[in-house]
Structure 1
Amino acid sequence: MAEDDKTPAREIITDYAQQHFRYFRTADGTVYAQRNGHPVARPIRSQGTTGSHRQELMVGLFKDGIGVFNGTALKEALDLIEALALTEDVQSVHIRVAPGFDGATWLDLGRTDGRSVRIHPTGWDIAIPDPREVCWRRTQLTGELPLPAKDTDGKGIDALLRLTNFANAETECLALAWLVGCLGPSVPVPAPFLTGPQGAGKSTAGRMLLRIIEGMSGDLRRAPKDEENLTAAVAAGWVTALDNLSHMTPDLSDAMCCIVTGAENVKRALFTDGDVHRARYRRPLLLTGIDVGVIRPDLAERLLPLRLERPRVRRTEAELWAEYEQMLPVILGSLLDLTVKVRAAEADIPTDLRMADFAHLCAQLDAATGFGSLAAYRASLDDLNDDVIEGDLLAQTVLKQAAGMAPGEETRMTSSEWLYALTGLYSGEECRPLPKGWPTTGKVLSDRLKRLQPTLAARGVLIDWGRTRTARYIAMTRTPEQPAHQQDTLH
């Protein structure tokens, strides 16, 4: 055959690729490759050392006797495939948890055979999802889960609670509510913060909760130093677990708020001048630590305190984890059974809580099991409000100011007038020096009050903003009725 009659290598590769793979794009324009009949999709531009589409294409061409091709031919073929895929329909890719057809939810077991768990309104089963229904994205953080056991009769839940050291039944039911929430792709869940005395097994309990969802390879991590590294870690997995937090900077606190309720990160695409890369993320978080100091009000609304106590009988790590690994299929099966029951339960949606979806899930859990998780969740938020107030001298001063007002009374002043009044109230007759971080202008005071608004409202003090013809004002109102324990905190 003459040299000119040979089929170009790029065409051979392109024809083979289109016969054995399906190519599609996501909403952000990333092109993925999915082997026919298999639910796992890989970005075609991935340069990972293992598991990249380029590698699986090279291996397929070699094993099927097509040949071995140089990098130039592969690059030209992938360039053409990428251009063709940009005209295809948009489809989403998911990590670990995904919505399916007919109200079902899928859980990726991380297995090479693609078998996953389908949670549907009447139960759950193990199957390989239709590639048009679910496309899984795998990363180095995607661990393998065992096949869950059927007909566990709740034994897995009992085993999990026996292996952990939760302080009381209220904490246990909140931990179960969080686990059920992690299996929902569209339900924002607050971040559990495992606290307790030294030696209470916070890290061990955190690993156990994490590994139910992420497999035995999942582990706790130190908090990244900056938001960019935290976002990268979050985007590569489903549950992100941070261990031994002792301090939380304002930037880290804001980043955690965005992760829990969802946000988008935009940065310049590599090797381009004008293109950008968009990353949307909303992930479950898990935190452990003894104390993180002052908690900001917006993060407090997104936390779920889970207190542990020191165990009466100590066990070796090897013995503990051997039992846990043996029981993991039963634990996962029991969690799936509980999830089906919870989703089938009917309950009213609490409208007074920030994390209304999680509050509704707690109400469903109570309806399905008789637990008191919603009341426990309200109590935990109340405790967090106390923590916010105890760590914020401005909040304490506002409550002291409101204590001198009659129930139902409203006071309006400009932000500068409020700053003068609150500063004088704090300093008192002895002219105490102002603490570090005290507002220095009316604008700063107004911004601080906006952050404290939900916390103060929970203590019966309403803050609102308005405008007259001549100036803007801040209105402070003491609600007509306050619980006795709230009034005690004011004096």
Structure 2
Amino acid sequence: MSEDEKTPARAIITEYAQAHFRYFRTPEGTVYAQKKGHPVARPIRSQGTTGSHRQELMVGLFHDGKGVFNGSAIKEALDLIEALALSEDVQPVYIRVAPGFDGATWLDLGRDDGQSVRIHPTGWEITTPDPREVSWRRTQLTGELPLPVKETDGKGIDLLMRLCNFATADTESLALAWLIGCLGPSVPVPAPFLTGPQGAGKSTGGRMLIRIVEGMTGDLRRAPKDEENLTTAVAAGWITALDNLSHMTPDLSDAMCRIVTGAEDVKRALFTDGDVFRVGYRRPLLLTGIDVGVIRPDLAERLLPLRLERPTIRRTEADLWVDYEEVLPVVLGSLLDLAAKVRAVRAETPTDLRMADFAHLCAQLDAATGMGALKAYRASLDDLNDDVIEGDLLAQTVLRHAETISAGAAQRMTSTEWLHLLSGLYNGDGLRPLPKGWPTTGKVLSDRLKRLQPTLAARGVLIDSGRTSAGRYLEMTRPAVPPPHEQRPMF
């Protein structure tokens, strides 16, 4: 056969690839490949050393007797496939959890055979999802989960609570609500912050919680140096757990807020002049530490304090994890039973809380089990408000001044006038210096008060702003009727 009659290598590869794989693009424009009938998808441009689409294509060609091809032929074929895929179906890919049809959600077990758990208000089952309903994306952070056990009668929940050192039943109910929230891709959940004295097992408890969803390879990480490193780690997995936090910078605090409620970054695509790619994420976070210092108000609304206590009987790490791995299938099965039960009940959505979806989930959990999770969640937010106020001298000064305003009355001034009044109230008209970080201009004061609005409102002080013909103003009000869940007096 002459050289002109030979089929080009790129044509052989392209024909084989289209016969054995399904190609599609995500809403962000990335092209993925799936073995036909299999839910796991891989980006065709991945250059990973293990499990890349390029490697699975080379192995398939070799095993099926098509030959061994050089890199340039495979690159030319993938270039053509990528161009063709841009006109194919648009479908998102998911890590660990995904929405499904008919109100169901899916949990990726991380198995090579693609078996996953379909969770529905009517129950759950282990099956392989249709690739057009769910496409899984895997990374090195995607660990394998054991097959969950059916009909556990809640035994796994009891086993989990015996292994963890939660201080109260309220803490246990909040931990369960968070775990159920982690099984839903559309429910933003606050970040649990495991606290307690030294030796309470905070790191161990954090690992136990995340490994129910992430498998035995799930682990805690140290706090990243900057926001970019944090978002890179977050985008590669489902639950991000940061261990032993002792300080939280404003940038890290803001980044955590965005991760909990959802955000998107736009970055320049490598080796291009102007192309960009989007990185969207909303992920569960988990934090551990004794104390992180001053907590900013916006982060406080997104935290879920879980207090642990020192165990009375100590066990070795090896024995503890052997027992945990043995009961993990039962724990996961019980959690899935509870998740299906919670989704089947109806409950009113609290409208006064920032994380309304999680508050609604707590109300559903209460309706299904009678645990009192919503009441515990409200109490935890009140405690966090106290922490914010104790760490913010401006908030304390505002509350002191609010005591002089009659209930139901309002006081309106410009931000500069408010700054003069509050500064004089704090420093006693010059008897003591203003603290570091005190607002220096009316604009800075206005921005600080806007950030403190939810915290002050929880203590019965409303801050509003507006404009008249004379200029902009800030208004402080003490409502005649305090918030229904506010029982504590102001400073």
Alignment match, 2:13: 13
What's the CA shift for 1:487?
Answer: 6.3
Q: What residue in structure 2 maps to residue 162 of structure 1?
A: 162
2:26: which partner in 1? 26
Find out whether 1:120 has 2:120 as its counterpart. Answer: yes
**Is the counterpart of residue 147 in structure 1 residue 147 in structure 2?**
yes
- Paired position in structure 2 for 1:241: 241
Q: Supply the distance in 2 between the matched residues of 1:34 and 1:481 (Cα, whole angstroms).
A: 59
- Corresponding residue SS for 2:92: coil
Q: Match of 2:210?
A: 210
Matches within 5 A, 1:454-473: 454-473=454-473
CA distance, structure 2, for counterparts of residue 258 and residue 313 of structure 1:
40
**Residue in structure 1 matched with residue 365 of structure 2 by the alignment:** 365
Kept after mapping to 1: 8 A contact 2:191/2:303 = yes
SS in structure 1 at match of 2:257: helix
Deviations 1:317-361 (A, max 9, x none): 111110000000000000000000000011100000000000000
CA offset digits 1:423-443 (Å, max 9, x no partner): 000011562100000000000
State yes or no: 1:474 paired with 2:474: yes
Q: Deviation string for 1:208-257 (max 9, x for gaps)?
A: 00000000001000011010110000000000000000000000000000
Note the alpha carbon deviations across 1:238-283, whole angstroms, 9 max, x for none: 0000000000000000000000000001111111110011000000
Aligned-partner SS, 2:357 = helix
Unaligned 5+ residue runs, structure 2? none
- Residue 198 of structure 2 corresponds to 198
Q: Determine whether 1:330 maps to 2:364.
A: no
In structure 2, the partner of 1:300 is 300
One-letter amino acid of the structure 2 residue matched with residue 133 of structure 1: E
**How many Å separate the matches in 2 of 1:365 and 1:28?**
36
| Structure 2: distance between partners of 1:369 and 1:145 | 26
Q: Distance in 1 between matches of 2:481 and 2:127?
A: 55
- Report the equivalent of 1:62: 62
**Backbone CA RMSD of aligned residues:** 1.0
Tell me how far 1:481 sits from its aligned partner. 3.5
Cα deviation per residue 1:15-44 (whole Å; 9 max; x = unaligned)?
Answer: 000000000000110000000111000000
Q: Matched residues in 1 for 2:350 and 2:78: separation?
A: 51
CA offset digits 1:159-211 (Å, max 9, x no partner) = 00000000000000000000000000100000000000000000000000000
2: CA distance between counterparts of 1:386 and 1:255? Answer: 23
Q: Given the superposition, is the C-alpha separation of residues 127 and 486 from structure 1 closer, same or farther in structure 2, using an over 3 Å criterion?
A: closer
> Which residue of structure 2 lines up, in the alignment, with residue 384 of structure 1?
384
User: What's 2:415 paired with?
Assistant: 415
Q: What is aligned with 2:89?
A: 89
Distance in 1 separating the partners of 2:245 and 2:43: 34
Q: Which amino acid is 2:404 matched to?
A: G
Return the offset for 1:480.
Answer: 1.3
Distance 1:164 1:326 in 2: 15
**Structure 1 residues 359-411: Cα deviation after superposition (integer angstroms, max 9, x where no partner):** 00000000000110000000000000000000000000000010111101100
Give, in whole Å, the separation in 1 of the partners of 2:99 and 2:430.
62
Alignment of 1:105 onto 2:97? no
- How is 1:168-317 mapped onto 2 (pairs within 5 angstroms)? 168-317=168-317
Q: Is this contact kept in 1: 2:26–2:90, CA < 8 A?
A: yes
Q: Offset at 1:89?
A: 1.6
Displacement of 1:48: 0.5
Give me the whole-angstrom Cα distance separating, in 2, the residues matched to 1:473 and 1:439: 17
Give the equivalent residue in structure 1 for 2:444: 444
Q: Distance in 1 between matches of 2:269 and 2:384?
A: 40
Which string of whole-angstrom CA distances, capped at 9 and with x for unpartnered residues, describes residues 125-171 of structure 1?
00000011000000000000000000101010000000000000000
Please tell me whether the aligned partners of residues 466 and 474 of structure 2 are also in contact (alpha carbons under 8 angstroms): yes
Q: 1:8 to 1:162 in 2, by over 3 A?
A: same
Cα displacement (A) at 1:468: 1.0
Q: Where do 4+ consecutive residues of structure 1 move more than 6 Å?
A: 483-487
In 1, Cα distance between the equivalents of 2:120 and 2:361? 16
For residues 46-85 of structure 1, give each alpha carbon's deviation from its aligned partner in whole angstroms, at most 9, with x where no partner exists. Answer: 0111010000000000011100000110000000000000
Provide the secondary structure at the position in 1 that maps to 2:37: coil
Figure out how many residues of one structure are paired with residues of the other and give that number. 490
Aligned to 1:401: 401
- Deviates most, 212-221 or 428-437: 428-437
Q: Which amino acid aligns with 1:311?
A: P
TM-score (norm 2): 0.99
Point out the more displaced range, 478-487 or 236-245. 478-487
In structure 2, the residue corresponding to 1:433 is in which secondary structure?
coil
Q: Distance in 1 between matches of 2:269 and 2:157?
A: 45
The one-letter code of the counterpart of 1:15 is E
* Structure 2 counterpart of 1:170, one-letter code: D
Write the distance in 2 (CA, Å) between the matches of 1:351 and 1:23: 43
| Residue 482 of structure 1: how far off its partner (Å) | 4.1
Corresponding residue SS for 2:67: coil
2:459 and 2:486 in contact (8 A); partners too: no
CA shift for structure 1 position 489: 3.5
Checking the alignment, whether the CA contact within 8 Å between 2:171 and 2:306 is kept in structure 1 is yes
User: 1:488, CA displacement in angstroms?
Assistant: 3.8
| Partner Cα separation in structure 2 for residue 489 and residue 424 of structure 1 | 20
Q: Does residue 41 in structure 1 map to residue 68 in structure 2?
A: no
Aligned pair in 2 of structure 1 residues 44, 57: CA closer, same or farther (>3 Å)?
Answer: same
Alpha-carbon distance in structure 1 between the residues aligned to 2:111 and 2:489: 56
What's the CA shift for 1:120? 1.5
Partner-residue secondary structure (3-state), 1:147:
coil
TM-score scaled by length of structure 1: 0.99
Q: Distance in 2 between matches of 1:105 and 1:461?
A: 41
Cα distance in structure 2, aligned partners of 1:430 and 1:237: 53
Distance 2:435 2:225 in 1: 27
Letter in 2 for 1:222: R
Kindly indicate whether the alpha-carbon contact (under 8 Å) linking 2:424 and 2:430 is maintained by their aligned counterparts in 1. Answer: no
Q: Report the AA paired with residue 67 of structure 1.
A: G
Find the residue that maps to 2:156 and give its secondary structure: helix
Deviation at 1:486, TM superposition (A): 6.3
SS at match of 2:198: coil
Supply the distance in 1 between the matched residues of 2:10 and 2:431 (Cα, whole angstroms).
81
Secondary structure of 1:439 counterpart: coil
